[in-house]
Structure 1
Amino acid sequence: MTGVEVGRPRVAILGVGHVGTALARTMLDAGYEVAVAASGDPKKIELIASVLMPGAKAAWARDAVSDADIVVLAIPLHRFSTFDHGMLDGKLVIDTMNYWAPTDGVQSLFEETPLSSSEVVQNTLANATVVKTFNHIGYHEMEEERRPAGAPDRRALGVVSDDPQAAAIVGELVDSIGYDPIVLDSLSDGAAFEPGGPVFGARLTAPEFERAVAVDAVA
């Protein structure tokens, strides 16, 4: 860990599974202050945090969110419907989740709609600002795939939001941890990042990523 860099947004990660812990490590390594929370008492995850995410602060979810500039939703999507949505009011929220019925079971909130999963999340979190990213890269790749800016093999990650300023902020975070952010216009474009989409699970450079989503948009 390089230490916290002054001026970096404070990050709260909700969920300490594979995705949450991998993101915590990459953000800590990039100089972000990171708090992590699960669904209950932070004492239950203090050991996990100290071993798997050294430098991250284990906290109650509401406290972690209250102190954060950016909140990362890294919970299993099937838990989203019963999640305390109100605690995210006024927050910039990164949605890393995917709707995948074989894994999560059929979720009517996401199944019975033409919207992308992050559009559903945004509609549910009406008083928050949702940005979708990190959902189309495997948790096991998040650390090993990082590259410095300008590296010819630097991997691209998609970023979408209905709020351009929020997308720009998250794009800066994506860049700072070692990836080229490709910012698209709206959350509806995030369907390309979902399971079955043209960039889901694919290791693409920025030009390759842009071509893939452009072809998908006209298909």
Structure 2
Amino acid sequence: MIGSSVARLAAAAGLEVVLSNSRGPETLAGLVADLGGRARAATPAEAARAADLVVAAIPLNAYEQLPADALAGKTVLDTANYYPERDGHLAELDAGELTSSALVQRHLTGSQVIKAFNNITPHQLFSLARPAGAPDRSALPVAGDDAEAKAEATRLLDVLGYDAVDIGILAASWRSEPNTPVYVQPYLGETPAMNVEAFLRWTLRTPGVVVPAARVRKLVETAVRRPAGEARLPSDD
């Protein structure tokens, strides 16, 4: 769903979009039709090779399926979060020895991984986008080890409707992961208690809350690292 929202924002901004998934290009026909003439579908390897910039919007438990050879030399924006109840327990993440994006970077040895788009729900990612200079523009955190790749990601966020807040290297990307102050909740505002299905329906009816760059910085600075193994899905927070 994050991938679809990024694709919609990109197509609306005039970018060429190549979509892929694990089920085959034909399963993306409806989304491609909705996006219009600037979008097409391909296999993951084909999309990777065609792209100037890649957004990997997948569950963390599928990270090893990313085509490392095809992604070599690319900047890859990683949107994944670690949820043990979905992904299974990963000892290095539970112990805080790695962040989830550092794990993805270890798999994608020839790529530059940037943590982005991971701390906002799909509908709010789309609904809160604003043009550069808008007084109600929100910001999103980004983290990465390569300055040029991070700048590239920042330019993409700007085109898509967001300011970017640099929160450091991949080892610091835990500051935007689940259980942190900047994760999901600020962009939703007060959230009623509900189950997963009801939460997802509710987010589709909620326009979201503006979170400017200054507030993102403050929230990131106040983050305290909690055991990754305690992470819960947003609807359970």
TM-based fold match above 0.5: yes
Unmatched 5+ stretches in structure 2? 188-210, 226-237
Contact 1:30 1:177 (8 Å CA) reproduced: yes
- Give, as a single letter, the amino acid of the residue that structure 2 aligns with 1:134: F
- Give, as a single letter, the amino acid of the residue that structure 2 aligns with 1:27: A
d(CA) in 1 for partners of 2:143, 2:171: 8
- Superposition CA RMSD, Å: 2.1
Which residue in 2 is equivalent to 1:211?
A: 218
5 Å-filtered alignment, 1:1-219, equals 18-51=1-34, 53-54=35-36, 55-108=38-91, 110-111=93-94, 114-201=97-184, 202-203=186-187, 204-216=211-223
* Shift of residue 112, structure 1, vs aligned partner: 5.4
Contact 1:133 1:159 (8 Å CA) reproduced: yes
Contact 2:45 2:67 (8 Å CA) reproduced: no
d(CA) in 2 for partners of 1:113, 1:123: 15
Aligned length: 201
Unmatched 5+ stretches in structure 1? 1-17
Are the structure 2 counterparts of residues 217 and 104 from structure 1 closer, same or farther at C-alpha, using a change threshold of 3 Å?
closer
- Give, as a single letter, the amino acid of the residue that structure 2 aligns with 1:216: A
Deviates more, 1:76-85 or 1:26-35: 76-85
d(CA) in 2 for partners of 1:179, 1:83: 26
* Shift of residue 109, structure 1, vs aligned partner: 6.2
d(CA) in 1 for partners of 2:213, 2:67: 36
TM-score of the two chains, using structure 2 as the length reference: 0.78
In terms of fraction of residues, the more helix-rich structure is: 2
* Shift of residue 20, structure 1, vs aligned partner: 1.1
Contact 1:164 1:185 (8 Å CA) reproduced: no
* Shift of residue 31, structure 1, vs aligned partner: 1.4
TM-score of the two chains, using structure 1 as the length reference: 0.84
Deviation above 3 Å: which 4+ runs of structure 1?
Answer: 107-113
